[in-house]
Structures are given as structure tokens and as C-alpha cells.
Amino acid sequence: MSNKILESININKFFHDPLTVQVLKDINFSLNKGEFASIIGKSGCGKSTLLYILSTMDTDYDGELFIDDVIIRGKKEVELAKIRNEKIGFVFQFHYLLNEFTVLRNVMLPGLKLGKYSEKEVEHRAYEKLKILGIEKEALKKANQLSGGQKQRVAIARALINDPLIIMGDEPTGNLDKKNSEIVFEIFQQLVKDFNQSLLIVTHDNEFANRTHRIIEMEDGKIIRM
Amino acid sequence: MNFKLISDISRSLLVARWRQTLVAAIGVTFSITMFITLLSFMSGLNDLLDGLILNRTAHIRLYNDIEPSKHQPVDESNEYYKSYNFIRSIKPKNDRLEIYNSGAIMAALKKDSRILGVAPKITTPIFYNVGTTDLTGVINGIDVEAENQLFKFSDYVTSGNYIDLKNIPNSIILGKGVANKMLANIGDVIQVTTSKGELMKLKVVGFFQSGLLDLDNVQSYASIGTTQKLLGASNNYITDIQIKLNDILTAPPLAKEYERLFGVEAMDIQTANSQFETGSSVRSLISYAVGITLLIVAGFGIYNILNMMIFEKMDSIAILKATGFSGKDVNLIFITIALSIGIFGGLLGLIFGLGLSNAIDQIPFNTASLPTIKTYPINYNPKFYMIGAIFSIITTYFAGYFPARKASKIDPVIIIRGK
């Protein structure tokens, strides 16, 4: 059994509108269980594009992608949704919490969708994730009553709810101040250390990247360091 | 489990935009209310107008008609018997209008299980003598009890008691119009002349008002016995046998059967009154068209509100998809929203529709020509409520279908990267 949880082989990606531009060129890399990796590079180098391909949300590419040794090409939309639900946790630059729901409910939603545990168990698990992130006191507030840093921590809790194979982040600290960025980074580090969680974070914050285990640097659609 | 989650998300989205939701639901409620009321009222009116004629008309009428002989002498000629002959020389002879062997026919009909009831009748032209002038008229000799049972005779007797016609010998119930012309009151004795010149005095025991002025100006009712006496006929003289069937739709084939069986003319109600059916169906068609138009307009309201909701909730939809909800789930969420608006609004509409038609039912509606009607007629047919419920669900489903499909096609990458 290989330790690779994510592998990309010769991934190429073109944008066709307005002109055909190659944004990713022969991306080959793999990620092992428990790795804390970051992708850095200048704006427009294709790092976010790569992340969306790796997260199965973008299916328009050439080359092959394996998640947990399963080939992604040719899967139906419903199957991809299931993979995202079960194996991938997301943290975006913006928190994207649903304001209609409480914090607890926001964290529970992907768990309820998975349907592996009963509602009671999902609720219990959501509480535990919130406790890891130190915001269990806010559980019953509406999402829009929290501060920016708290919201981002709720978003991380939501990413953790189904014990994903990997957490992917797209500039998760991009909208936060220094102090909150620090908190988020420490949480990530704790997750790696205590739970052997794999993380793949896109960032343009070099200081953040330097403290991760592995840096993947991109330039003009190519990986130049990994 | 999965559906519970989806309905939960739908409910939260609905509650978050409860004002718009309410407006959409009110649109459905209003249209269903109007749909129910309109159809109940229109159909009540239809029934009333049809009832004017149909309730009082036999489903099949057996009678003898004066007709020229179908077999003319020229057909006997060897030379022309194969030809189409136009020469007709035998005129109608002075045939009797009486139905032969009426007693046996009536007995046979009463045993027929397809028949609800049979009432004999004599129709004879007479003159009402008023001072020095004579008014032409018609006397219907009826079996009072059978007539009342089958054709609600008592409903149209506006003054006096209908049963007196049977109990008081030589009595008559005058048409309202005739009575007015003759200045006759209940208890007066009037004089009539038959077409053969016989004179007879009859006691007025009541007035009859059918709602059709032409009829009331001419017709009067007497018992069969009185009429037979008036005509100097024997007590088995009958000119018409009126038949009421269990199922009105079987009238045309049964009429043909009896025509053959008893050797008389038989007229079914559909042939005699085809214009009423046409009128009713056109009126129903118009009310359905208006009702459905209202519903479609309400459907557009729902469509608009859902479209707006999807535009506002783009982020939420994107994150739901990013965290593992498929397009199908998102589609279901918005269909559920549309359907709950439809079901909630439709249900209220059914209740308000019942209330409004009930209110109309209380409004006094007195007209001289319709003695039995006191308020506006309403038909509380459950069929209308079924149609209203089904249509409210179908229109809201389609109103939700297109926005939901749009929502399910949202690409999360575009939304998330757009920030």
C-alpha cells in the first residue's frame, strides 16, 4: 500500500477564452500522508488553478490525477461530489459560512451529507472539532455574529468534520490579520502533529510557507521547486 | 436522512427570505382562491340553468306523433318499386294520440332496472275562457305524486298546495302568467273549453311558476283523472309516458330500444335539449381558462423570487457544492422550496376558496323567474378542489424547475475564485 494520497501525472491546463493560453505545464508531483505542504508563487502562476484541479472541482484538464489511488478522470459529477465530501476538506480565503445556520449546523452540514453517522453523533463530532479549534462556546451563535478570525476557524472545523484524507486551503490566511493568521497556522501545525493530517495550502505569504514541511514553488505554470 | 437534510436547508433558506416567500405564497393563495370560487360559482350557475329545463324534462318521452304514412302507394308499383319516389298521396289520417296498451307498457317499464321512475301524462290543447275572449293554452294531466317525485313538481308551485290537485276533484293549478291574465285567485272557479268544444268548470288550487315565461303564459296542470274527464276519454287514455333513468347518458340507446319494443315514438333528452349541454361546457371552459391563467401568473411570481434567491445565495450554493453536495442535491433544495411555497399557498387557497364561495352562497339572489332560488348558487364539487391542488403543485414545480436547474449548474470554482 503506497503512502501517496495525492498524485498528479503530466497535468496540463489551457484557458481558451479569449486566447488559448497554457496555464499549467506538465505538473508532476505527489503528496504523502501526514505531509504539510504549501504551494507558493507569484500571482497568476497557476497555483490556485492547480488547487482546483486537485480538488476535483475543475475537470477540464489533460493528464491524470489520483486521489487515494483512485483515478479521477471519467467520474460523474455525483461521484466527484462524494469524493469531495468524504476525502477533501476545504478552507478558502473567504470563510463561506451559511448565515442562515448556527455555527454548529454549518460544521455539521458536510457530515450530515455524508450520512455515515447519525445526526446525534455528527453533532457530537462537530462539538469536538470546535473544541480542537477552541471555539466551542460560539457553537450556537449564527455564523454572521462571529469575528473574521473565528469564522475562519469555523471553516476549518467544517473542513475537518468528515476526517478528510487531505485539507486543501486557498489562501486561508489571506483575509486575516497577523494575530489570527498565527492562530490559524498553529491550528494547522497542531492538526499535523496530533492527528497526522495531510495539508496542502496555497499561499503567497512566504513566511507562512517557510514554516511548512514542504514548499512547492510555481512559476508560469510550472513547478520549479518541490 | 438525506431528504431530511435537504428539507432542512430548504426551510432555512425560506425562513431567511420569509417576506418574499410570503408574497409568493400569497400569489398562489390568491389564484387558487379565485380558481375555486370562480369554478364553484360558474358551475353552480350552470347547474341552475340546466336544472331549469333538465330537472323537469323526462330523460325519455314515449308518445305517438301524427306523421304521414311511410309506405306510399307508388312503392307498390312493379315499375317503380326500385326507384326513389317523390310522389306522396296518403295524408296523415286522423290517428289517435293515445298510446296503445299504455297500462302494459308502464308495468313493463317499472320492472326495468335501468329506470328510476315512470310518470304518465296527458297533454291537451284547450282554451281558457276569460269574459268574452278565449286564451289558448295547454293542460298537462299528471300523476301528481309521480310527477313530484321525478320532476320536483312542488318546487314550482308557488302558491297553494300541490297535493290538492290530487285530493280535490276537478281542480287545476294555473300557470302564473295565465292566472294574471284571468285575474284568478286560489279558490276561484274558471272555465275552459276543449278543442272539441266541451265546456268544463275547474277550481283553482294553486299557481305554477317554471321560470320560463312562455311556458307560464300557456300551461296549467290538472290530475290525470280530471283531464280524462275533460276529454271524455276512458281512464286508460294517456298521450305521454315520461321516463327518468338512473344514468342520463344511456338515454339515446334506450330511446331507440323502446321505440322498437313498444312501437311508439321515443325522444331522448340529449336530442331534445342539445343546446344546454353546449352552453354549459363553454362556460366551464372559460372559467377553467381564467383560473389556470391566474395560476400561471402566480407561477411567474415564484420563478422570479427563486431566481433572485439563487442570485443572492450564489456563495452558499458554491460552498455546498465544494463540500460535497452534488448538483442533484442543490436542484432538490430549490425544487423543495418551490413546492413548499406551492403546497402551503395552495392549501390556504383551497380553504379561502371554500370560505369565499360560502360567502357568495349567503348573498340573497331573488328573481321572479326562479322561485326556488334564494341565494346565489354554488357548486361545492370536490373535483374543483382536487384540480386546484394538483394545478398549484404542477405550476410551482415548473416555476421552481428552471431556477433550480440553473442553481445546480453553478460552477463553484467561478464563484470562489471571483472573490
Q: List, in order of start, the domains of chain A with CATH numbers.
A: 32-61+73-225 (3.40.50.300)
DSSP B91: P
Residue-level pLDDT at B104: 87
Across the range A25-34, mean pLDDT stands at 86
Residue-level pLDDT at A1: 43
Q: Please give, rounded to a whole number of angstroms, the shortest distance from the CA of A215 to a CA of chain B.
A: 22
Between CA B272 and CA B236 the distance in angstroms is 27
Chain A residue numbers with beta carbons less than 8 Å from the beta carbon of B328 are 78
CA proximity to B345, closest of B2, B77, B12, B34: B34
CA proximity to A172, closest of A145, A139, A209, A123: A209
What chain B residue is nearest to A57 in terms of C-alpha separation? B413
User: Are A101 and B12 in contact (CB < 8 Å)?
Assistant: yes
Partner A contacted by B2 (CB < 8 A): yes
Minimal Cβ distance to A113: which of B315, B325, B411: B325
Residue-level pLDDT at B95: 64
DSSP B55: T
| pLDDT greater than 70 at residue B369 | no
Partner A contacted by B13 (CB < 8 A): yes
What tens digit of pLDDT does each residue of A35-45 get? 888 888 888 78
What tens digit of pLDDT does each residue of B145-173 get? 888 888 888 888 888 888 888 898 899 99
Confidence of residue B94 (pLDDT cuts 50, 70, 90): low
User: Are B323 and A93 in contact (CB < 8 Å)?
Assistant: no
C-alpha cell, B21 = 416567500
Across the range A65-69, mean pLDDT stands at 86
What tens digit of pLDDT does each residue of A205-215 get? 888 888 888 88
Average pLDDT, chain B: 85
The amino acid present at B395, given as its one-letter code, is: T
Q: Please give, rounded to a whole number of angstroms, the shortest distance from the CA of B6 to a CA of chain A.
A: 9
Residue-level pLDDT at B93: 67
Q: Please give, rounded to a whole number of angstroms, the shortest distance from the CA of B410 to a CA of chain A.
A: 11
What tens digit of pLDDT does each residue of B190-213 get? 999 988 888 899 999 999 887 778
User: Are A96 and B324 in contact (CB < 8 Å)?
Assistant: no
Q: What is the ipTM of this complex?
A: 0.84
Q: What is the pTM of this model?
A: 0.71
| Residues of chain B by 3-state class (helix, strand, coil), percent to 5 | 55, 20, 25
Minimal Cβ distance to B326: which of A81, A90, A96: A81
The structural domains of chain B, with segments of one domain joined by +, span 2-54+276-418, 60-79+94-272
Between CA A139 and CA B71 the distance in angstroms is 102
User: Are A100 and B419 in contact (CB < 8 Å)?
Assistant: no
Quick count: other Cβ atoms within 10 Å of Cβ A226?
Answer: 14
